Amino acid sequence: MTSTSSHLTYIARVLAVSFLFPVAFLLLLSVSAGWVFPEVIPDGLTMERWVRLATGNNELFGSLLLSLGIAFSVATISTFGGFFTSKHLAYHPGRSLWMRLSYFPFVLSPIIYAALLYFYFISAGLTGNLFGVILGQLLIAFPYSVILFSGFWSVRMQNMEQLVQTLGGSKWQAYRRVLLPMARGLILVCFFQTFLISWFEYGLTTLIGVGKVQTLTLKVFQYINEANFYNAALSSSLLVLPPIILLYFNKKYLFKKRW
Amino acid sequence: MKISGQTLFSSKPEAAGILLFLLLTVAPLMAGIIYALLYSFGVIGLMSEGMTLAYWQQALGRQEFWFSLGYTFYIALATIVLTITGALSLSLFLKKPFRQGFPGFSLYVPLAFPAIVVAFLVFQVASQSGLLSRMLWQLGLISDSAAFPELVNDPFGIGIIAAHTFMAMPFFTLYFINLYDGERIREYVRVAGSLGASRMQQLQRVEIPILLRRAFPTIILYTIFVLGSYEIPLILGRQSPQMMSVMIINKLRKFSLSTIPEAYVAALVFVGIIIVLLIIIFKTRTFSYDLDK
């Protein structure tokens, strides 16, 4: 019995190493001086790429800031917009229809959704610029946020709000003193999830941004196309780093349906 | 006394909330579908000559379209079957070690990977000059990189399926482990055991059916996600056959204007498939709008 248990633990550890291997591989490739076939380990190691990135002497630095800015904007707007909207949808008689409708943009392939909307973005002058990309990503992140918050607005929450008003509190006070503090955990989860939706986005960003809004995901693709695998690994490491940091703080920020 | 009539919205904030929802969710979706429909029927577009079914006949008459559709479903189903089989095995046989410590933490790590990075990793590991090929060369099992089997940009989509499975299996393992506790499956198993069920019967009749039934909406949602994936087949796929999303974008971006209506036909077929799959999910008894449940 003990032998079976230790055998299973061993298998689990081997699998765990295989799940962690990609992180180590990306970091190693990003600091490789050269790593050509048939070598299984790099010729040497160099921190040059990381140093150039840290000192801002690398075009990736701009992409990093751009991706952070877009993801932060999308997460903030969709989280608070979704929180406000989901309340009214949840208590509306047509709740079931609204919720069903909110699933469509959220599950539809972002690039196909962008293809359907491309004409409108061109007409509004929103292609190839930051605002267009943020708006495009909001069209996916916002419905997700609405769905995520829909479970929060229960009869209990309604009763709480009514109690605040019965005791003389205004609607604003109900939000500030009761609803927002009670939803704090969910707001954080929603913020990080919508941040990651934007952070991971490639298809919609490349189509609406016409390749001009060079986020980190676009940089990864550009470097792969140029066969510059070391820089592709560096930009991939930058993409993976924030979610891993989130994982360190709280696992639930990562474990949610996000597609 | 003034008797007010029933209004659509009970208050201004409610009207604002629903208006925001309509503007950011319903209106763009409807506008996009209407534009694609009009374009695909030749009503609008640079080559428009009035209402016609020609583009639909042209697109649906192409072998390329049906190959792409079949290939997309093949990739999605292969990914889901491998993922669910693997995740069920891990969650049922290794749930104890995966609940704690280093293995427990490791399951979350693949969730931190965007699709484009996973595609890059699979390319680096499984291509003919990748890490696996190098290891086999060092062991003397192959004499040059061309002797290594094509695992990426291959006709069977092995690289694409591997990339999707790497992303999905840890998620479903965690999901099944959580369901196992939440659905009190352990207690049902104990009851089955005390009624004389063997370990295999407990698995086949109790654990697997409950987990699959509870996870059904999530499995369909993930299938939809794989059907619409773009970055992974773009990097790890080949020119023919292509997954639907890649084919649609290629047709839209071609210099020839004649392929644009066909791209919209394919996009509309894809949207139709998603609508059917979503209706199936909405009709499922275990479906909840709340993502936490």
Q: The domain spanning residue A236 has which CATH number? A: 1.10.3720.10
Tell me the torsion sign for CA atoms B259, B262, B268, B271: negative
List helix spans (H) across A108-212. 110-123, 130-150, 155-166, 171-173, 180-182, 184-200, 203-208
Arithmetic mean of pLDDT, B116-139? 95
Arithmetic mean of pLDDT, B173-202? 90
Do A86 and A158 fall into the same domain? yes
DSSP summary character for residue B23: I
Q: Looking at the predicted structure, is the pLDDT value of residue B61 above 90?
A: yes
Which of B23-38 are b and which e, b meaning 16 or more Cβ less than 10 Å from the residue's Cβ? ebbbebbeebbebbeb
A19, A87, A202 member nearest B17 (Cβ): A87
Substitution target from A63, A171, A259 for chain B, most B beta carbons within 10 A: A259
- When the pLDDT of each residue in chain B is averaged and rounded to a whole number, the result is 90
Do A14 and A103 fall into the same domain? no
Most distant CA pair in chain B, distance:
96
Structural domain range at position A24: 1-46
Q: How far is CA A121 from CA A65, A110, A170, A239, in A?
A: 24, 14, 40, 27
Closest CA to B22 of A124, A150, A219, A97: A97
Cross-chain residue pair B117–A26, CB shorter than 8 Å: yes
- Amino acid, single-letter form, for residue A64: L
Cross-chain residue pair B137–A37, CB shorter than 8 Å: yes
pLDDT in tens, A56-96: 777 899 999 999 999 999 999 999 999 999 998 888 888 88
Please state, in angstroms and rounded to a whole number, the distance separating the CA atoms of residues A1 and A7. 10
| Total residues belonging to chain A | 259
Do A65 and A140 fall into the same domain? yes
pLDDT in tens, B240-251: 899 999 999 999
B206 vs chain A: nearest CA distance in angstroms? 22
Do A4 and A99 fall into the same domain? no
pLDDT in tens, A27-44: 999 999 999 889 999 999
Do A63 and A41 fall into the same domain? no
Q: In this complex, how many residue pairs, one in chain A and one in chain B, have their CB atoms less than 8 Å apart?
A: 246
Number of domains in chain A: 2
Asked, for residue A53, whether it belongs to a domain, the answer is no
Q: Is the Cβ–Cβ distance between B35 and A120 less than 8 Å? A: yes
A19, A118, A142 member nearest B24 (Cβ): A142
Q: What is the pLDDT of residue A82?
A: 94
**Which secondary-structure segment (H or E) carries B188?**
helix B185-194
Do A168 and A199 fall into the same domain? yes
Q: Is the Cβ–Cβ distance between A255 and B171 less than 8 Å? A: yes
Cross-chain residue pair A105–B25, CB shorter than 8 Å: yes
SS3 A34: strand
First to last CA, chain A: 41
Do A36 and A70 fall into the same domain? no
Which chain A residue lies closest to B22 (C-alpha atoms)? A98
A135 vs chain B: nearest CA distance in angstroms? 9
Closest CA to A148 of A212, A192, A116: A192
Do A72 and A42 fall into the same domain? no
Cross-chain residue pair B274–A224, CB shorter than 8 Å: no
Looking at per-residue pLDDT, the higher value among B166 and B101 belongs to B166
Cross-chain residue pair A105–B110, CB shorter than 8 Å: no
Among left, alpha and beta (phi > 0; psi -120 to 50; other), residue A38 is alpha
B124 vs chain A: nearest CA distance in angstroms? 9
Closest CA to B113 of A243, A251, A107: A243
Q: What is the pLDDT of residue A258?
A: 52
Q: By percentage, how much of chain A surpasses pLDDT 70?
A: 95
Contacts of B103 in chain A (CB under 8 A): 9, 12-13, 15-16
Closest CA to A175 of A187, A186, A164: A164
Cross-chain residue pair A89–B228, CB shorter than 8 Å: no
B35, B105, B224 member nearest A116 (Cβ): B35
Q: Which domains does chain B have, with CATH numbers?
A: 63-111+150-283 (1.10.3720.10)
Return the number of other C-beta atoms located less than 10 Å from residue A16's C-beta.
Answer: 20
Two tokens, residue A140: 């996916």
- Amino acid, single-letter form, for residue B138: Q
Arithmetic mean of pLDDT, A175-181? 90
Contacts of A1 in chain B (CB under 8 A): none
B190 vs chain A: nearest CA distance in angstroms? 19
Confidence of residue B36 (pLDDT cuts 50, 70, 90): very high
Cross-chain residue pair A115–B271, CB shorter than 8 Å: no
Substitution target from B9, B21, B165, B176 for chain A, most A beta carbons within 10 A: B21
Whole-prediction pTM: 0.91
SS3 B265: helix
A113, A220, A251 member nearest B120 (Cβ): A220
Confidence of residue A259 (pLDDT cuts 50, 70, 90): very low
Q: What is the pLDDT of residue A257?
A: 56
Do A11 and A33 fall into the same domain? yes
Q: Looking at the predicted structure, is the pLDDT value of residue B231 above 90?
A: yes
Q: Is the Cβ–Cβ distance between B250 and A134 less than 8 Å? A: no
Cross-chain residue pair B114–A150, CB shorter than 8 Å: no
Q: By percentage, how much of chain B surpasses pLDDT 70?
A: 95
A91 vs chain B: nearest CA distance in angstroms? 9
